[in-house]
């Protein structure tokens, strides 16, 4: 089956594969968006937290015999806790300063974490097997879909959807959104804003940890895995704007698909295409697709 000289079956395969990558982008940019919403800072260590998630999954298996499914629950909690510590002891003391300082601070944390893991575990990366239950795959008409990849899409969509529901539809989410708009007023109503801030930071970071565990079986677990991905996610954040939770999810998925298409049509440009989209968006709609003009 071909259309305009393009093999459509091949194309469907690439689109699906793009959607899988988009799931990781969505999880990471969602984490950034949640933190940004309340604290107005960008967590440069988000990539390092993703890396931590993958490493912790590996360590949990190697040192404690903890399987993938347990790690999928426990590791994000641990990573989230590290995020909470980071917020309490590093980010909060400079919360009143220019937000650029917190960007630099988290950048420093990212460098340190990456350096420490390179020092301890070397740079070659570690192997983490796909869990037994998800080995194998399904033969679709147009491609062979490994079960684990299908699981990635399902799991990330569920997590993204739950997060969206939590923020947009629940009382907790309402506090959160109100805290974003006017923290002083919230404080006056007797709501513990600093606690909400801390928990939100922890939650945003935990999402990166979750993405890390998800990634461990399919990508090489290595200290570098987060930093390259993060710069792409930054571009995605610029494209989507920081206006809405749903926007972050949608942009992440869409960029994954666009990248997948490029890999098929012109692979040489696949690492640059998202940055090019960013340039176009900056020219046409500087505040981003879902962004509110500040």
Partner 1 sequence: MNRFTKTLAAVAVAAATSTAAVANVSDDKIKIGVLADMGGVYSDLCGPGCVTALEMAAEDFGGEVLGAPIEIVSADDQLKADVGSAIVRKWVEDEQVDAVGGLVSSAVTGAATKVLTDAKKIAMISTAASNAFTTASCSPYNVHWTYNVAALANGTVKPMVDSGKKKWFFITADYAFGHALESVATEVIENNGGEVVGVVRAPLATTDFSSYVLQAQASGADVVALANAGADTVNSLKAATEFGLTEMVDVAGLLVFTPAAQAMDPDTAAGMRLTTGFYWDYDDETRAWSNRFKERHGSIPAMGHAGAYSMAMHYFRAVEAAGTDDSDAVMAKMRELKPDDFFARNAYLRADGRMVHDMYYAEIKPADQRRDNDDILNVLSVIPGDQAFAPMLPECNFAD
Partner 2 sequence: MKLSKLHIALLLVALVAPFVLYPVFLAKILCFALFACAFNLLLGYVGLLSFGHAAFLGTGGYITGWLMMNANLTPELAILLGTAAAGLLGALYGKLAVKREGIYFAMVTLALAQLIFFVYLQAPFTGGEDGMQGIPRGELFGLIDLSDNLTMYYFVLAVFLFGFWLINRTIHSPFGQVLKAIRENEPRAVSLGYNVNDYKWVAFMISAALAGLAGATKSLVFQLASLTDVHWHMSGEVVLMTLVGGVGTVFGPLLGAGAIVTMQNYLSGGELGNYIHIIMGAIFVICVLAFRGGLVGELQKLVKRNFG
Nearer to partner 1, 27 or 84 (CB): 27
Residue 21 binding: pick among partner 2, partner 1, none (C-beta 5-8 Å cut-off by kind): partner 1
Residue 113 binding: pick among partner 1, partner 2, none (C-beta 5-8 Å cut-off by kind): partner 2
> Helix or strand or coil: residue 194?
helix
Q: How far is the CB of 176 from partner 2 (least distance, A)?
A: 20
Phi, psi of 243 (to 5 degrees): -70, -40
Tokens 């903890």, residue? Answer: 66
Q: Is 237 in the site for partner 2 (CB under 8 A)?
A: yes
Residue 103 binding: pick among partner 1, partner 2, none (C-beta 5-8 Å cut-off by kind): partner 2
Nearer to partner 1, 125 or 183 (CB): 125
Q: Which of 85, 129, 154, 282 binds partner 1 (CB under 8 A)?
A: 129
Show contacts with partner 2 in window 83-142 (CB under 8 A): 90, 93-94, 97, 99-105, 107-116, 118-119
Tokens 């590093």, residue? Answer: 90
Q: Is 224 in the site for partner 1 (CB under 8 A)?
A: yes
- DSSP per residue, 215-259: HTTTS-B-TTHHHHHHHHHHHHHHHH-SS-HHHHHHHHHHHHHHH
Q: Which of 4, 5, 184, 294 binds partner 2 (CB under 8 A)?
A: 294
Tokens of 119: 């020092």
Q: Is 17 in the site for partner 1 (CB under 8 A)?
A: yes
Site string for partner 1, 234-263 (x = CB under 8 A): --------------------------x--x
In this structure, are residues 50 and 211 in contact, taking their beta carbons and an 8 Å threshold? yes
Site string for partner 2, 265-284 (x = CB under 8 A): ---x--xx--xx-xx--xx-
Q: In whole angstroms, what is the distance from residue 287 CA to residue 104 CA?
A: 23
Q: How far is CA 146 from the centre of its chain?
A: 22
Q: How far is the CB of 137 from partner 2 (least distance, A)?
A: 32
Q: Is 66 in the site for partner 2 (CB under 8 A)?
A: no
Show contacts with partner 1 in window 21-50 (CB under 8 A): 21
In this structure, are residues 242 and 2 in contact, taking their beta carbons and an 8 Å threshold? no
Dihedral over Cα of 263, 266, 271, 277: its sign: negative
Q: In whole angstroms, what is the distance from residue 26 CA to residue 104 CA?
A: 24
Tokens of 51: 């890396």
Tokens of 272: 């640059």
Q: In whole angstroms, what is the distance from residue 199 CA to residue 282 CA?
A: 32
Residue 110 binding: pick among partner 2, partner 1, none (C-beta 5-8 Å cut-off by kind): partner 2
List residues near partner 2 by CB under 8 A. 36, 40-42, 90, 93-94, 97, 99-105, 107-116, 118-119, 227, 231-232, 234-235, 237-238, 268, 271-272, 275-276, 278-279, 282-283, 286, 294
């Amino acid at each position: 089956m071909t259309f305009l000289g393009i093999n459509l079956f091949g194309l469907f395969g690439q689109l699906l594969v793009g959607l899988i990558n988009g799931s990781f982008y969505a999880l990471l940019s969602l984490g950034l968006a949640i933190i940004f919403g309340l604290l107005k800072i960008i967590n440069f260590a988000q990539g390092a937290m993703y890396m931590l998630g993958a490493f912790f999954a590996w360590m949990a298996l190697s040192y404690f015999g903890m399987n993938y499914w347990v790690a999928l629950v426990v590791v994000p909690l641990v990573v989230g806790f590290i995020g909470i510590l980071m917020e309490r002891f590093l980010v909060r003391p400079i919360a009143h300063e220019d937000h650029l300082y917190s960007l630099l601070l988290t950048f420093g944390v990212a460098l340190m974490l990456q350096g420490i893991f390179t020092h301890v575990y070397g740079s070659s990366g570690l192997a983490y097997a796909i869990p037994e239950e998800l080995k194998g795959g399904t033969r679709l008409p147009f491609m062979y879909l490994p079960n684990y990849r299908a699981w990635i899409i399902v799991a990330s969509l569920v997590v993204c959807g739950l997060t969206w529901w939590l923020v947009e539809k629940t009382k907790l989410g309402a506090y959160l959104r109100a805290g974003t708009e006017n923290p002083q007023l919230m404080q006056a109503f007797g709501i513990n804003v600093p606690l909400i801030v801390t928990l939100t930071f922890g939650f945003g970071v935990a999402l990166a940890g979750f993405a890390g565990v998800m990634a461990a079986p399919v990508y090489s677990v290595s200290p570098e895995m987060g930093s390259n991905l993060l710069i792409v996610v930054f571009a995605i954040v610029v494209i989507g704007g920081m206006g809405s939770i749903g926007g972050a999810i949608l942009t992440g998925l869409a960029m994954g698909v666009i990248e997948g298409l490029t890999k098929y049509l012109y692979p040489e440009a696949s690492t640059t295409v998202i940055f090019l989209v960013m340039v176009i968006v900056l020219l046409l709609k500087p505040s981003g697709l879902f962004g509110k003009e500040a």
